[in-house]
Structure 1
């Protein structure tokens, strides 16, 4: 048996190994991907990261304290201990066997990830693989801890129920709280440790960590779901329907397997699922914080990373308080959900208050170190805007009627001033000094005045409008006045052809503050050095970063000045004519960019010159503002001036800084070669362009508001799920109400409500994710970088109460198991009060389990949407977008939409096959040992556990291959034969990446819809059955009840296998795509692309074939024939029952 079990996965193992080996060829054959985000924290940041780490460690210690408390509780009498021991042995045996299968798969992927990332350097590749292993171990540890506490807490809860309602609630909830605290604690410790130790490559390590957690969660969710529902279906169909015995009846051979399934599915699987959701959400916060580099400088966006980690830690501490605050009471009429919900409200409120406080002090609420977003605009765009305004004024001046009365009044006024007849006043008299032009003429074209004077009837056209006309129309403008000095520039703007005018879009630039920033090596490129006071510098070249990013007097700034100088009249001399005098009045003129010292010297020189000439005047300095430096990954640099400057394009005439495409040492060597006569040509320098940085403060409350939206979304999902699946609400009551007509109308009604609930969930998520777009308007903050970080904060807000939510979820199977232990130990007949207590706890647990399923599904969608944006950035698709009119994208969308359905088919078929094997075994035991039904013989529980364990592990292969191989097949398959395209100077094959982007979008959408549909339909059918079992609509044993059992059986694999497993599937596929991103865009050899595609498709074919093995109808016919033959033989030749070999749990 064991050797066969080891040989079974050999083909898929080889397929995955071959697939990853083929993938590893791509990066080896080409250049390493260089778009990875580099994290370089300042010394002041590390205490905050250490605090987040400390929060996680404290949670683990607190969990250890809860373990001690729970284990001190009395596990009950001998009968309770025996039942608990059987459940515990079965659950541990299952996890032990699953860990072996996961280890084999994980080892293959470990080696594959090293090959996949080898081109980026062996240390980094090993680091990613190690973090993958840690993520998988963390996910497994979270699931293992949750399950171990559940199997130890069930008997203790059952025994506590014999004494105190309050004590039973507290024991069961604290047992579940251990799972919540360990899950979140490990996730926070892992992410914080990677940020502290991984430094520059931390983001790549985090993606590996998340991938490991997601893959392990997928295995535990799928495997646990197959086990629990195969056992549940087998136990219900043979026990309840065929044998007519109640649930948790010890005569049912599958009853222990059923209880084991509650733990491996609802505890281990859910804990692993939530762990990877938590880890992936933290990763999305960090990755999307890094994406804000487009609008925030390197120091500021790292504050967003720290804010996310600290907010997660605060949520964890709030959960501790919420868990500690839970207190029950001994009133049997009380609802245990009341204190549970009160604890959740306390957790949510404290988490929100703590996060708001953090944001106020850390995100600029005090006025110190505000978050400032910058968006770049080219100076050409300002010039175009001004030219459009100037030409619009021209059109207005041409179209408006000429007021001749105003012209006449202006001429009369000027005639009086000049003491001449009005008929002798000329146009030159009127317009000689623009400051003294009569007010009546402002807004009237100069050509119209000239035509009035000359009595011409010719109309004024737009070509007659001059710069003087535009200046006069805005000379007194309170916002942006023009002066006579602007006439020439305005004239140029009038002559511009705006129909063909364009301005470059400045995308992909990040503000830099460190001249040695390793992410932008162009900062070390050479530029000409400037000597002190114009002297020849000691070295001819310096690094451009050292020139642009200096501090103190050498800092690059712009300065606004005004100058008023009165030059007195001068009499004529032998060498010069008489000078009538002149007033120089220059207001709000901008100078620079130049060093602060250079501008100081310029102003001081002008003041000295004015004083030496005995002129009256002064130069006033209004503002001195530092400029910003921006860089991109194409080797370009920009110097950005503040948006306070009215006409920034005028500064381009005086700013002339160039940069060579080589570093200082390389340039000096070329110069030496040239001086030695070797004829090496010096490279041409390139000019550094001037741009404008439009800045805007990002208020601290915006971050809190986005976080709050996540909390509200979690509450809304809870209410929505409760409405559709609660026994106290109309949908479930409607489903139960139609049971008198059989199972068919129940299925129709439940399915219809489930479809509705799935759509409503999407609407809720869409509304929540729209909120960040309004909280961080893209128009205000330079694009979608901050709104997308807001989406990540929504996810973080949802998961801030994760520890408490997971405690609620684990409380469900613990209370369910406690009722099973109570019944199977015989206490149900001797202690009626205790039976009511465990029944109340079980009912509350069913509700909390249903609520947390919706929560887990929503977190998967929010995290995946955040990761989807990261994928688009990594594959250069942000530059060209995903357009549905591209056939490959649309086809990828279709395949992605189909993936969750194929995955669900694998999972549901697996439950059916596994359940049939169990049904066959239970029937065999009933048939061969009549003493089981009489209560004189003990069923072979271990054999049932062993059958379902083996079946669950065997059925894991298909879903696991599908999750990895399908994205690979799409990404590489659609790249075959496609020509690369040039983006940002690089050559990339983006067709496969586009198809994979469409695939991910389809997977996220259909996965979410299908997950909610399956989870809520199963939940409604399950609770409809419970309604009937509580004595409504016919009660137990009625035809209504039999119909509800059929519906519940149909819904079991929906709500506990396929539906929940779609959460990790969505995230695994997103993370696989993110890991593949740097590979699939490389223009590699077609041979490699075809090879990878063929291996991926072969693996998929095997997965589909594996899910199709066997025929239910053939198996059932064979089983029926065997049963009939056994009945005939027993009638003709009754023989003593053969001695049975006792099978151990390990077997």
Structure 2
């Protein structure tokens, strides 16, 4: 119990730190009246979207909670509602501060790169600390009141995963519909710069950075964070007699020291004399990771009486860092893959897209090998050869280790869209050219850090989903999966198909919304005479409305399917068929997620590389081709790709929560 109290204290201190940093940001100068006006448009649009989205989600939460009370237990329903509310709170808090930080980052860029980086990173830090603080607070609180009953606590993960999927998909559709519409008409057809105030979709585009890349991303990583801890708790309950009585509390204590490590890393970045932004941010992450490794070694020995659990944790930490570095190589314009896409842009959009797809596919090879090696090492180094459950617990601890420093990972990730918004505000406010140069440099680094964050989330998704999958197998009494059983094979094929269906639905959703946006922007340029001369103000509100309506409408089907399909497969075909479905979705989902996220990030930075002066710079044929590639990559990296890791975990945790019903009533067609 004392460990749980300590964890709650750490969580409260973390949330207080987030509040402290938020207040520091608020005290910064918000710029001139024009900057404040634009920031108000962005803030109002973002809050209007969240308000409508949360109304939809409120209905969903109520319906699912009632179903859980009827078919399972009221305590599971309480956990579910708490997980959903905490997830929404994390996203809201991060976005609220993000819209404050963006205008202040633009103003800070007038004083220099260091000031702008400090403010943007501080805004991201509020998001990061809110996510881990709320996640740890919720789990430690439920562990106390339910006495570590994982059957109830898994409801918290279900709530977090459900909201994360809707938030990521809805926010992703919103931001990419606006982005695609603004780019295709503004940059390609009309030939005006990005974030030009004459573009009717420019406010919607900047709103989208907040609702998709901050609020959606926050809910996404909140789900990843709590999911990894829940998987370790669930498996820890089965190995207490072998590893000691503290196997249940160990993941929560690991998360606590991970937060402490993150806070130290955050304050190092905030107070360091800054040079290269990428190196500064990387240094903060490496310091946090090193501290986490040291703390976990000490904790492993003193709480479980052995350093073997530390090996599994360390494997997760190491694999996460290397995956992040590999992702950086494939998405940063400092390395060959992105430069090759830029080079191919000289011969048109087709060769740009071909190269981008190839780069994304190749980028999945090394991370998959790393995850495979990580699974084997974390399984066997803790003692999996002697006891299967101990090995599976090691895999779960590896996922916790990978995500324990989520506080700073999210801080670095969320900094990117804040810098992007700052650039938009600088452009619309007609600030000096050197201000936009600073924000563009920070934004380019932000694209890479966002891709690294996605790499962490996807890598941990594989480990977490595997651990939750093992928990599901135990709950329905499956010792193995027989692929010669036609029901299992059918389930496997269905599972392999789901990520492709999900990607198709989310891509088409962005396409539909983007078409509406393109038509509206074209209409305004045609009908509103004087926009190009700056004499007539575009109708920004209409574009915001289009993105909002499209996102809320199109997010429902993909989100509901992720919940319904596992239940339908389990009830109709049986628990073993569902196991095959989960395995298939895990296998293809991780690959599709990496491919899409990294392709999108590489396309974006290839465009920015050309905009920096290569191959003719802005306005050249190569630049136009790169804009098309980037437009294709937008839903890849910010809608479909990052949603995939939530999909595979949501399917797994739905199966785990409803495992009792599936075990008792599943396979109704074949009984």
Task: Sort the TM-score into its range (normalised by shorter chain).
Answer: over 0.9
Say if 1:806 and 1:852, in contact at 8 Å, map to a contact too.
yes
Query: 194, 204, 214: which one pairs with 1:257?
Result: 204
Query: 206, 216, 226: which one pairs with 1:269?
Result: 216
Deviations 1:533-563 (A, max 9, x none): xxxxxxxxxxxxxxxxxxxxxxxxxxxxxxx
The answer as to 2:425 corresponding to 1:821 is yes
Q: Which residue of 1 aligns with 2:113?
A: 165
Q: Which residue of 1 aligns with 2:39?
A: 84
Say if 1:135 and 1:213, in contact at 8 Å, map to a contact too.
yes
The structural deviation recorded for 1:165 is: 2.6
Query: 266, 279, 292: which one pairs with 1:351?
Result: 292
Q: Which residue of 1 aligns with 2:277?
A: 336
Structure-to-structure mapping, 1:306-385, within 5 angstroms? 306-327=249-270, 334-364=275-305
The structural deviation recorded for 1:329 is: 7.2
Say if 2:488 and 2:578, in contact at 8 Å, map to a contact too.
yes
Distance 2:396 2:436 in 1: 45
The answer as to 2:556 corresponding to 1:957 is yes
Distance 1:1050 1:869 in 2: 37
Structure-to-structure mapping, 1:736-751, within 5 angstroms? 736-751=342-357
Query: 439, 450, 463: which one pairs with 1:849?
Result: 450
Q: Which residue of 1 aligns with 2:621?
A: 1039
The answer as to 2:158 corresponding to 1:211 is yes
The answer as to 2:476 corresponding to 1:875 is yes
Say if 1:335 and 1:840, in contact at 8 Å, map to a contact too.
no
Q: Which residue of 2 aligns with 1:1017?
A: 599
Say if 1:289 and 1:302, in contact at 8 Å, map to a contact too.
no
The answer as to 2:1 corresponding to 1:49 is no
Q: Which residue of 1 aligns with 2:28?
A: 73
Q: Which residue of 1 aligns with 2:441?
A: 840
Say if 1:711 and 1:798, in contact at 8 Å, map to a contact too.
yes
The structural deviation recorded for 1:302 is: 3.5
Say if 2:448 and 2:601, in contact at 8 Å, map to a contact too.
no
The answer as to 2:97 corresponding to 1:149 is yes
Say if 1:290 and 1:301, in contact at 8 Å, map to a contact too.
no
Structure-to-structure mapping, 1:689-768, within 5 angstroms? 700-768=306-374
**Which stretch of the first structure deviates more once superposed, 246-255 or 837-846?**
837-846
The structural deviation recorded for 1:888 is: 0.6
Structure-to-structure mapping, 1:486-505, within 5 angstroms? none
Say if 2:122 and 2:270, in contact at 8 Å, map to a contact too.
no
Say if 1:967 and 1:1072, in contact at 8 Å, map to a contact too.
yes
Tell me the SS of whatever aligns to 2:664. coil
Structure 1 residue ranges, 4+ long, deviating more than 6 angstroms after superposition: 328-331
Say if 2:586 and 2:648, in contact at 8 Å, map to a contact too.
yes
Q: Which residue of 2 aligns with 1:491?
A: none
Deviations 1:39-67 (A, max 9, x none): xxxxxxx1111101111111011111111
Deviations 1:457-498 (A, max 9, x none): xxxxxxxxxxxxxxxxxxxxxxxxxxxxxxxxxxxxxxxxxx
Q: Which residue of 1 aligns with 2:123?
A: 175
The structural deviation recorded for 1:760 is: 2.1
Q: Which residue of 1 aligns with 2:517?
A: 918
Query: 456, 464, 489: which one pairs with 1:890?
Result: 489
Choose between structure 1 and 2 for higher RCO, CA contacts under 8 A separated by at least 6 residues: 2
The structure with the larger Rg is 1
Say if 1:757 and 1:1013, in contact at 8 Å, map to a contact too.
yes
Tell me the SS of whatever aligns to 1:158. helix
Deviations 1:308-366 (A, max 9, x none): 111110110111111111147788xx3111221111111111112122222232222xx
Say if 2:462 and 2:590, in contact at 8 Å, map to a contact too.
yes
Q: Which residue of 2 aligns with 1:1138?
A: none
Query: 397, 400, 412: which one pairs with 1:793?
Result: 397
Distance 2:246 2:321 in 1: 28
Say if 1:1021 and 1:1047, in contact at 8 Å, map to a contact too.
yes
The structural deviation recorded for 1:288 is: 1.1
Query: Which residues of structure 1 form unaligned runs of 5+?
Result: 1-45, 118-124, 365-699, 975-991, 1091-1147
The answer as to 2:174 corresponding to 1:227 is yes
Say if 1:328 and 1:339, in contact at 8 Å, map to a contact too.
no
Say if 1:281 and 1:792, in contact at 8 Å, map to a contact too.
yes
Distance 1:108 1:139 in 2: 18
* Alignment TM-score, normalising by the size of structure 2: 0.98
Query: 132, 135, 149: which one pairs with 1:184?
Result: 132
The structural deviation recorded for 1:852 is: 0.7
Distance 1:749 1:837 in 2: 29
Distance 1:805 1:330 in 2: 20
Query: 497, 501, 505: which one pairs with 1:902?
Result: 501
Deviations 1:545-583 (A, max 9, x none): xxxxxxxxxxxxxxxxxxxxxxxxxxxxxxxxxxxxxxx
The answer as to 2:260 corresponding to 1:305 is no
Say if 1:88 and 1:260, in contact at 8 Å, map to a contact too.
yes
The answer as to 2:190 corresponding to 1:243 is yes
Distance 1:844 1:254 in 2: 24
Structure-2 change in CA distance of 1:862 and 1:778 (3 Å): closer
Distance 1:752 1:192 in 2: 44
Say if 1:167 and 1:328, in contact at 8 Å, map to a contact too.
no
Query: Which residues of structure 2 form unaligned runs of 5+?
Result: none
The structural deviation recorded for 1:786 is: 1.2
Tell me the SS of whatever aligns to 2:146. helix
Structure-to-structure mapping, 1:993-1142, within 5 angstroms? 993-1083=575-665
Say if 2:195 and 2:202, in contact at 8 Å, map to a contact too.
yes
The structural deviation recorded for 1:306 is: 1.5
Structure-2 change in CA distance of 1:876 and 1:207 (3 Å): same
Distance 1:91 1:919 in 2: 20
Tell me the SS of whatever aligns to 2:327. helix
Say if 2:233 and 2:248, in contact at 8 Å, map to a contact too.
yes
Distance 2:553 2:154 in 1: 28
Structure-2 change in CA distance of 1:164 and 1:1040 (3 Å): closer
The answer as to 2:472 corresponding to 1:861 is no
Q: Which residue of 2 aligns with 1:137?
A: 85
Query: 937, 948, 973: which one pairs with 2:536?
Result: 937
Say if 2:258 and 2:292, in contact at 8 Å, map to a contact too.
yes
Say if 2:572 and 2:666, in contact at 8 Å, map to a contact too.
no
Say if 2:311 and 2:382, in contact at 8 Å, map to a contact too.
no
Say if 1:706 and 1:775, in contact at 8 Å, map to a contact too.
yes
Say if 1:165 and 1:330, in contact at 8 Å, map to a contact too.
no
Distance 1:934 1:947 in 2: 25
Distance 2:152 2:70 in 1: 15
The answer as to 2:565 corresponding to 1:966 is yes
Structure-to-structure mapping, 1:467-486, within 5 angstroms? none
Tell me the SS of whatever aligns to 1:932. coil
Q: Which residue of 2 aligns with 1:581?
A: none
Distance 1:774 1:1064 in 2: 27
Q: Which residue of 1 aligns with 2:414?
A: 810
Structure-2 change in CA distance of 1:301 and 1:284 (3 Å): farther
Distance 2:273 2:396 in 1: 42
Tell me the SS of whatever aligns to 2:617. coil
Q: Which residue of 1 aligns with 2:56?
A: 101
Say if 1:165 and 1:328, in contact at 8 Å, map to a contact too.
no
Say if 1:327 and 1:339, in contact at 8 Å, map to a contact too.
no
The structural deviation recorded for 1:71 is: 0.7
Distance 1:1083 1:958 in 2: 26
